[in-house]
């Protein structure tokens, strides 16, 4: 079950952030958000729900920066970026179906800048790869299902990234934090509120070492949050 304490009944951010839409270009940050845009956690996950991205701007440092014309996922990382098909092996880990349909957007990328790594850099991570799919449900309701990968990466370090970003955001209030068990593994849940928007971030270790699964939602109730977590299965 999705764990929650002292949180509103309705829970609900991928760039662990932010702003991807069909035909999007590779970006170092999410583009201007609209209710239809769906990004991930930060620029890393580079496009959760644009709204999400904005609401969780602090959490997702991903929406900062100018769009770049292209992104080369090979060789040394000299700039953050993402694009559909950049890391197909990671994209293959994103659930193909959630709420009876495939993702509205699917892409992958990597982050190596200190700006977008945030507390992960302090934890010894100098480059992180990710893939994320986003689902929109109208208005500002959306979900991003994301996988992060890096040598030595842990669920705790990703959860701390989101929590510290949320606390640093001027308009975001942390309403609850809990430690649910997901697929038999220790996870973390963060519930926040930005204005009238409710966001939830679920983080837990993937089945393979050095990988972390993340679900980010905006204005979605607990049953849909749980369904997003369940979509990963035992992966």
pLDDT tens, residue by residue, 184-208: 999 999 999 888 889 999 999 999 9
Set out the domains of the chain in order of their start, with CATH numbers.
43-70+89-230 (3.40.1000)
- 234, with CB counted inside 10 A (0-12, 13-18, 19+), is exposed
CA–CA dist 232, 93 (Å, integer): 8
C-alpha atoms less than 13 angstroms from C-alpha of 59 in its C-beta half-sphere:
40
Residue 14, judged by CB atoms within 10 A of its CB (0-12, 13-18, 19+), counts as buried
Cβ-Cβ contacts under 8 Å for 196 (sequence gap 6 or more):
none
pLDDT band at 58 (very low <50, low <70, confident <90, very high): very low
Q: Name the least confident of 66-70, 160-164, 204-208.
A: 66-70
- The predicted structure's pLDDT at residue 140: 81
Cα separation values, 185 from 129, 155, 159, 210, 221, Å? 22, 10, 14, 14, 23
Give the chain's mean pLDDT. 76
């Amino acid at each position: 079950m999705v764990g929650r304490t002292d949180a509103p009944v309705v829970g609900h951010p991928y760039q662990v952030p932010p702003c991807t839409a069909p035909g999007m270009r590779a970006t170092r940050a999410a583009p201007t958000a609209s209710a239809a845009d769906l990004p991930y956690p930060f620029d890393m996950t580079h496009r959760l729900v644009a709204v999400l991205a904005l609401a969780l701007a602090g959490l997702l440092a991903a929406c900062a920066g100018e769009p770049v014309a292209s992104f080369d996922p090979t060789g040394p990382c000299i700039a953050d970026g993402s694009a559909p098909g950049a890391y197909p092996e990671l994209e293959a880990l994103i659930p193909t179906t959630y709420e009876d349909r495939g993702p509205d957007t699917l892409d992958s990328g990597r982050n190596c800048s200190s700006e977008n790594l945030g507390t992960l850099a302090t934890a010894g991570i100098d480059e992180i790869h990710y893939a994320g799919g986003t689902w929109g449900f109208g208005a500002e309701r959306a979900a991003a299902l994301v996988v992060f990968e890096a040598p030595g990466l842990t669920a705790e370090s990703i959860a701390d990234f989101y929590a510290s970003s949320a606390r640093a955001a001027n308009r975001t209030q942390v309403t609850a934090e809990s430690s649910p068990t997901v697929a038999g593994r220790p996870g973390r849940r963060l519930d926040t509120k930005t204005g009238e928007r409710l966001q939830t971030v679920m983080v837990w270790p993937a089945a393979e070492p050095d990988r972390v699964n993340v679900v980010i939602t905006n204005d979605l109730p607990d049953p849909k949050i749980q369904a997003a977590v369940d979509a990963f299965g035992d992966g």
